[in-house]
A and B are shown apart, each in its own frame.
Chain A
Amino acid sequence: MAVLWCPDWPVVAWGVPLDEPAIVVVGNRVVASSPAAREEGVARGQRRRDAQSRCPDVAVLERDVGREVRLFEPVVDAIVEVTPRVEVAGPGIAGFPTKGPSRFFGGDKALASTVLDRIVPVLAKRGEGRIAIADGMFAARLAARSANLKNGPVIVPVGESPAFLGGFPIAALEQPDLTDVLGRLGLSTLGAFAKLASADVVGRFGKVGQLAHRLARGEDDHPPDLRRPAPNLAVTWVFEPVANRIDQCAYAAKALADELNASLVADGLACIRVAIEAETHSGEEHVRLWRHDGALSSAAIAERARWQLEGWLGMAVRTSGKTGDQADDDRGIRRLTLVPDEVVPADGRQLGLWGGRAERADDVTRVVARIQALMGAEAVLVPEWRGGRGPADQITLIPAAAVDLGEERVATGIGWVDEPWPGKVPAPAPSKVLLDQPEIEVVDTAGKSVVVGGRGELSSPPAIVIMAKKQWAVSAWAGPWPADERWWDPLTQRRRARLQVKLEDQSAHLLIVERQAWYLEATY
């Protein structure tokens, strides 16, 4: 794994030369600084006022991640020319696998210098790029920090990453909560931490500890439980018309990220690497991998997609050279797809014996997703109330995918529909509502078919019902309840009437008549 690290990228992205003192702040805290500022004693995490007091003529810049990504994009493109599977870990830092490319270019060193040669003109002296190669991303990243222009790329030979990492302080894990405890346990270096038995670490620190332990041992290349997700987890948004403003894209990105995250969560997975794919109106396809050591949350995915799209939209402006509406349309994004590229099982919370409401809903959602994967997205449905006259009209089924099972759904409460429906058959509702209504015969004592007249009156009382070639005597009946549906629309208008009958075997049914044909609608 190789890592390209552009130091002080937030400062570089603002176009400030690195020999001028500058700081980038978020909420009055310094998050990045130029080397010149650091020489004056400015450090990350300082308050802005502290930094300014140490270095009075420092330029204070607000962080703009979108800009950082946009400007990093040409750098990534330069690496892509050398090796295709580049994954962006954040603005200013990108990784790529070295196994194949190294063989092609004749060794890690040759690969590193090839990449450096490509990116130096892109960076155009605004910033510098450092490359390091090690077994895993984490080791490579730490190695990149110690690389510099004079010594060239740092290459940790295969298998020596654990030894290389051993000397780093435990704080290099950048997990203060964990490293604080480890430090107090007397484990001051990654090497000391790596020597612990994996089982003990997991036993004491759980999943977080396990991940950190793997990093410390230089094993982070591929988590052991890494899985290729099912291809159908990819989510796509088609823009119609094409989107050429970032706010349009951001909205779609958020919606897609939520959708993707929901299906991942439902499958008990978490995404650690996501591929963001976009197709522009002129048919250009862009793909970029984004990676995160922890799991990417829905918000994190949306954010990265937004950054990336901003980068692409910005790039299109520079390259097309066209102006006006035509250029706007050409660079506009027609399709956005998010593909979970690598997933790991989500380290789900252990449910209590009496799991809370939300957890239960999560469980159910997961099962729903599994069945949807087997039978299709529309196979699992949830009921909701609708207004209507017949027993089949008053409840509608909507795909479970369309609702949040953990939320209160108003349309499932009794009383959701309270407007009167004339012609509604009174309660109780039948326990069996037939989907396929068989045609039946309803005759009077003389054997003549019973018909319902224009004013909703029966021609004669029903005496016998013939169902499936069997005759049943009617022992009681009521109705008809006429249902003139959509009388205002001659095309969809339906004139029907319902009849309740009790047969000799004490079974009760709801019959429906339309165009003088009788059907069995429901059974009580």
Chain B
Amino acid sequence: MAELETKRRPALSADIIQRIKPVTLATRQVMDVPEMLKPLFPLGGVQRGTSLAFAGNSGWALAMAIMAEALGTEGWLGLVGAPDFGLMAAAEYGVRLDRILVVETPSLKLWPTVVASLLESVDVVAVAPVGKVGLRDARRLTARAREQSSVLLHLDGAATWPTAVDVVLAARARDWSGLGDGHGHLVARRVEVESTGRRSAARQTKVEVLLPGPDGCIGEVVPEAAVAVSRGGSEPALL
């Protein structure tokens, strides 16, 4: 009898496994990121239903470069409470302007509701909370993002977020090229990106990229001389 029971159990659990198995593979729920940033993400891309935070003085540029790739041509981006977000730069990185909704900064009371609504049908919701977010609201929004397979993106490095964020990317400018002493103009920036996080993203990873590169998008780090030569001709005439 006991033997029968033990034999039955694995069969049952297999059945349950079949039932609870996600219909889509985890990798299908991963949004693309630029090739050179792939090492930063445990699954090689932004996993839907998770949260991301961007910190450092080049964090927003990094967010733009990642969103441009992750959203592709059809994905929608919602911006809440980030009136300073440089939409022109985002467009230069390749984010489609006709897929962006800009929501004016809501009051702290409305903020969770607005973000929750957006998470329902917008692929990535980028937020910079106006104040301290309550623990309950934070948990509810995290759950909502997971449920709706959307991504909650913290533009402020999740400074006001009471719970842990899945992946935190800190981008610090190492050097700008193109700007001289009274001549030239900003062309490319070497940025060091460091990822930390929880669970599978817990290991620290570092990469160096050009953000922006000489073509305005994200670029691979090449010797500085090459960058200077490639953009040497486009300096504005001096006044």
Contact = CB atoms under 8 A, between A and B. Distances in A.
A478 B180 contact: yes
B83 interface: yes
Nearest to B60: A431
A481 B239 CA distance: 8
A367 B236 contact: no
A457 B239 contact: yes
Contacts of A428: 89, 92, 186-187, 212, 216
Contacts of B175: 506
A324 to B, nearest CB: 52
Contacts of B103: 371, 375, 379-381
A500 B98 contact: no
Given A371-B117, A412-B97, A425-B185, A364 B85 contact: no
B76 to A, nearest CB: 6
B98 A409 contact: yes
A287 interface: no
A432 B84 contact: yes
Interface in B53-96: 57-58, 60-61, 64, 74, 76, 83-92, 96
Contacts of B184: 476, 478
Contacts of B117: 367, 370-371, 374
A435 B84 contact: yes
A477 B239 contact: no
A193 B190 CA distance: 74
Contacts of A480: 239
B76 A500 contact: no
A366 B121 contact: yes
A360 B74 contact: yes
A456 interface: yes
B234 interface: yes
B180 A431 contact: no
Given A375-B104, A409-B98, A502 B179 contact: yes
Contacts of B234: 426
Nearest to A354: B74
Given A370-B117, A427-B216, A429-B86, A400 B101 contact: yes
B189 A477 contact: no
Interface residues of A, number: 60
Given A371-B114, A375-B106, A508 B173 contact: yes
For chain A, what secondary structure do more than half of its interface residues adopt (helix, strand, loop), or is it mixed? mixed
Interface in B93-120: 96-98, 100-104, 106, 110, 113-114, 117-118, 120
Interface string A493-524: 00000001010011110000000000000111
A491 interface: no
A231 to B, nearest CB: 20
Interface in A346-397: 357, 360, 363-364, 366-368, 370-371, 374-375, 378-385, 391, 394-395, 397
A482 B239 contact: yes
B198 interface: no
A413 B96 CA distance: 8
A500 B186 CA distance: 8
B174 interface: yes
A434 interface: yes
B92 A379 contact: no
Contacts of A363: 120-121
Interface string B196-229: 0000000000000000100010000000000000
Given A364-B121, A371-B114, A379-B104, A430 B86 contact: yes
Given A367-B117, A522-B86, A408 B98 contact: yes
A366 B90 CA distance: 25
A55 to B, nearest CB: 59
Interface string A405-428: 000110011100000000001111
Q: Which of B102, B113, B121 has the most CB of A within 10 A?
A: B121
B139 interface: no
Contacts of A408: 98
A153 to B, nearest CB: 51
A433 interface: yes
B10 interface: no
Contacts of B104: 375, 378-381
Contacts of A429: 86, 88-89, 91-92
B128 to A, nearest CB: 11
Nearest to A391: B88
Nearest to B65: A431
Nearest to B104: A379
Nearest to B234: A426
A502 B176 contact: yes
A367 B114 CA distance: 9
Given A431-B58, A477-B181, 17 more contacts: A367-B120, A371-B114, A371-B118, A381-B102, A382-B98, A413-B97, A428-B92, A429-B89, A430-B86, A431-B64, A477-B179, A478-B180, A478-B182, A478-B186, A480-B239, A508-B186, A508-B189
21 contacts: A367-B117, A368-B101, A371-B117, A383-B87, A383-B100, A383-B102, A395-B87, A409-B98, A412-B98, A429-B89, A432-B60, A433-B84, A433-B88, A434-B84, A435-B84, A461-B181, A476-B179, A476-B180, A506-B57, A508-B176, A523-B57
Interface of B: 57-58, 60-61, 64, 74, 76, 83-92, 96-98, 100-104, 106, 110, 113-114, 117-118, 120-122, 172-176, 179-187, 189, 212, 216, 234, 236, 239
The 4 A-B pairs with the shortest beta carbon distances in the complex, nearest first, are: A412-B98, A412-B97, A363-B121, A429-B88
